[in-house]
């Protein structure tokens, strides 16, 4: 007699039940499924560099393994890495950090996670400007706090201190800022960033500044880190940094936080009971990344710029598209509302048409909090960009009114 298998029912606690799976990972999975079925997919979904990790960084990791650096490290990272981070900020930006403010993490994502869960809980509001990186609201939700969104469409997705001031309520505990922004590519100017920090300091609101795309800024926009702010403004600030994008090291899972020592001690507690420490080998690689020549970063930036300079005018010429030029990161974020009609009513519909009719993967803007836009990653070769734009144009011509 056939055995009936009872379905396993599982109910997580309310904070986890409220979380949504990552929409960017869903796009990646759709691309993967088609590729493994032998389809010629153009994949603009990936949020990671198409470059390989530079050789000297890999070599430092290999050397660390040979030298037996394969054991646990202090939770906040090796002394060498902390010193490398402090030295990098001093050399590159003239910012003076204390090693006690610096903590190595398993990617920028863990730095943001540590910062939010040590600060926010039930009853707190976390301000998140739209469009946002998909993970921000989910971490706030996990912490038991309520994400509250700031609509920045009227200012072309350029966050202003005025918008922040208007959104703050007595319950606001934290704001998460991401400049350069994934997905919009917008960069907040140093002057506006300082104004935002002043508003937050005055109203007792903490700030997480996600600086994962720090180095990928196209002149005339300026590379800027909040680490250069005066001590009184940094008292409420946690910077989340990452090696993932800057050095094409997404798989190494290595990043860091810079925050006041008291906040860092709390984050240290959380990390010590979750991942203990980021991989010792990745830490050695990160030391090499921050202490050797930054030529590899300049080369990658030049290539992203070349692609951007070709891609944006090409997208601007697509019927139904409106595509502002990104100032940083490696994403185009066009509006596709000009393609709306009977068959395309949302950007998700348009992304779906691209996938089914042109085997082209993009990420729907709704996952970043703004329907009507799609994210196109140009962390891919010029050949694929050209092929993808040809396909996008074909689909847009069909639906644009």
Note the residues at the interface with ligand PLP (CB under 6 A).
47, 107-109, 133, 178, 182, 210, 212, 242, 244, 250, 255
Pick the closer one to ligand PLP by CB: 101 or 210.
Answer: 210
- How far from 126 is each of 13, 119, 268, 300, CA to CA, in Å? 20, 10, 22, 34
DSSP assignment of 113-127 = HHHHHTT--TT-EEE
Assign 283 to helix, strand or coil. helix
Pick the closer one to ligand PLP by CB: 109 or 308.
Answer: 109
Pick the closer one to ligand PLP by CB: 242 or 347.
Answer: 242
Please state whether 225 falls in left (phi above 0), alpha (psi between -120 and 50) or beta: beta
- How far from 312 is each of 246, 296, 307, 371, 398, CA to CA, in Å? 22, 24, 9, 20, 21
The order of strands in the sheet holding 102-105 is 102-105, 255-258, 237-242, 206-210, 172-178, 125-130, 146-151
Least Å from the CB of residue 342 to ligand PLP: 35
The residue behind tokens 């290999």 is: 62
Query: What is the C-alpha to C-alpha distance for residues 74 and 110, in angstroms, rounded to an integer?
Result: 16
For the chain, what's the residue count? 401
Least Å from the CB of residue 210 to ligand PLP: 5
Least Å from the CB of residue 107 to ligand PLP: 3
Burial tier of 83 (Cβ tally within 10 Å: 0-12, 13-18, 19+): middle
Q: In this structure, how many other beta carbons lie within 10 angstroms of the beta carbon of residue 295?
A: 10
3-state secondary structure string, 37-93? CCCCCEECCCCCCCCCCCHHHHHHHHHHHHCCCCCCCCCCCCHHHHHHHHHHHHHHH
Least Å from the CB of residue 6 to ligand PLP: 38
Pick the closer one to ligand PLP by CB: 109 or 186.
Answer: 109
- Nearest CA to 189 out of 222, 154, 153 is that of 222
Pick the closer one to ligand PLP by CB: 243 or 340.
Answer: 243
Pick the closer one to ligand PLP by CB: 25 or 317.
Answer: 25
Angle at 334 between CA 329 and CA 335, to 5 degrees: 145
Burial tier of 178 (Cβ tally within 10 Å: 0-12, 13-18, 19+): buried
Q: In this structure, how many other beta carbons lie within 10 angstroms of the beta carbon of residue 263?
A: 21
Pick the closer one to ligand PLP by CB: 50 or 198.
Answer: 50
Pick the closer one to ligand PLP by CB: 46 or 95.
Answer: 46
Pick the closer one to ligand PLP by CB: 109 or 173.
Answer: 109
Residue with the closest Cβ to ligand PLP?
Answer: 107
Least Å from the CB of residue 198 to ligand PLP: 24
Pick the closer one to ligand PLP by CB: 46 or 318.
Answer: 46
Query: What is the C-alpha to C-alpha distance for residues 257 and 114, in angstroms, rounded to an integer?
Result: 9
- Nearest CA to 101 out of 73, 72, 136, 77 is that of 77
Least Å from the CB of residue 243 to ligand PLP: 7
Least Å from the CB of residue 250 to ligand PLP: 5
Least Å from the CB of residue 182 to ligand PLP: 4
Least Å from the CB of residue 240 to ligand PLP: 7
Assign 295 to helix, strand or coil. helix
Least Å from the CB of residue 211 to ligand PLP: 9
């Amino acid at each position: 007699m056939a055995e009936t298998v009872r379905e396993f029912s599982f109910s997580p606690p309310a904070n986890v039940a409220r979380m949504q799976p990552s929409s960017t990972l869903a796009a990646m999975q759709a691309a993967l499924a088609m590729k493994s079925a032998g389809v010629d997919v153009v994949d603009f979904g990936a949020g990671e560099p198409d470059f390989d990790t530079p050789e000297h960084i890999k070599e430092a990791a290999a050397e660390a393994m040979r030298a037996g650096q394969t054991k646990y490290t202090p939770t906040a990272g090796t002394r060498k890495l902390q010193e490398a981070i402090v030295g990098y900020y001093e050399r590159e930006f003239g910012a003076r950090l204390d090693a006690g403010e610096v903590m190595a993490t398993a990617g920028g994502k863990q730095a943001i996670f540590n910062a939010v869960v040590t600060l926010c809980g039930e009853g707190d509001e976390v301000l998140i400007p739209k469009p946002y990186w998909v993970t921000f609201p989910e971490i706030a939700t996990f912490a038991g706090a309520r994400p509250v969104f700031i609509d920045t469409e009227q200012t072309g997705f350029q966050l202003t201190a005025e918008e922040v001031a208007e959104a703050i309520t007595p319950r606001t505990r934290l704001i998460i800022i991401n400049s350069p922004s994934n997905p919009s590519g917008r960069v907040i100017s140093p002057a506006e960033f300082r104004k935002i920090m002043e508003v937050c300091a005055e109203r007792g609101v903490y700030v997480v500044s996600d600086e994962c795309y720090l180095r990928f800024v196209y002149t005339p926009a300026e590379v800027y880190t909040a680490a250069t702010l005066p001590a009184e403004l940094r008292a409420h600030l946690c910077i989340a940094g990452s090696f993932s994008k800057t050095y094409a090291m997404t798989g190494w899972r290595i990043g860091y936080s810079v925050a006041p020592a008291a906040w860092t001690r709390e984050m240290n507690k959380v990390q010590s009971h979750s991942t203990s420490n980021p991989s010792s080998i990745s830490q050695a690689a990160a030391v090499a990344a921050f202490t050797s020549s930054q030529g590899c970063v300049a080369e990658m930036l030049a290539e992203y710029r070349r692609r951007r300079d070709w891609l944006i005018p090409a997208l601007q010429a697509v019927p139904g598209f409106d595509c502002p030029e990104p100032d940083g990161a490696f994403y185009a974020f066009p509006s596709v509302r000009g393609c709306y009609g009977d068959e395309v009513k949302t950007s998700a519909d348009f992304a779906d048409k691209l996938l089914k009719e042109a085997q082209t993967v993009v990420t729907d803007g709704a996952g970043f909090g703004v329907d009507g836009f799609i994210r196109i990653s140009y962390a891919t070769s010029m050949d694929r960009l050209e092929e993808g734009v040809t396909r996008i144009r074909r689909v847009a011509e069909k639906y644009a009114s």
